[in-house]
Amino acid sequence: MDKRGGKGVYLAALILFLGGLGYLIYTGLTQDSVYFLNVSEALAMDPAELRQARLFGRVSGQGLERRDGVLGVSFDLVDKDNGSQSIRVEYKGAVPDTFMPGAEVIVEGSFSPADRTFGASTLITKCPSKYEKMSRERKA
């Protein structure tokens, strides 16, 4: 058996492996790239750049709308640092039990420049700080 032919097979296999790995990394980064922004950052961007984004902020107590018999909620997402900045969010889906005014939430979806609302496909609430305080008290 020729030793040079064996090395060529390994070299070809290595090139194919590295090419496939590079392709997977490239497609993973380009297809799943989602901006993670607070409200003021999102408002400062061009709406065309927010076709797929993840926003975080606090739920405003004003303008909170739940529809009877229909899953979902509409609310104003307020910037954590600048309370005067907000984006209207329309979410259709199961609302977490911990969702309430003042709760910190993360929404994922896209911004509609026509009606200036953020259509959320995902709504996640962060654990309230009272749970953190309780766990600290138990450790003490």
Question: Quick one: pLDDT at residue 135?
Answer: 43
Which has the minimum average pLDDT: 40-44, 98-102, 121-125?
40-44
pLDDT in tens, 45-97: 887 777 788 999 999 988 889 877 888 999 999 998 888 899 999 999 999 88
pLDDT at residue 26, as a whole number: 72
| Sign of the Cα pseudo-torsion (23, 25, 28, 34, in order) | negative
- Report phi then psi at 18, rounded to 5: -65, -40
Q: Please give the CATH number for the structural domain made up of 34-133.
A: 2.40.50.140
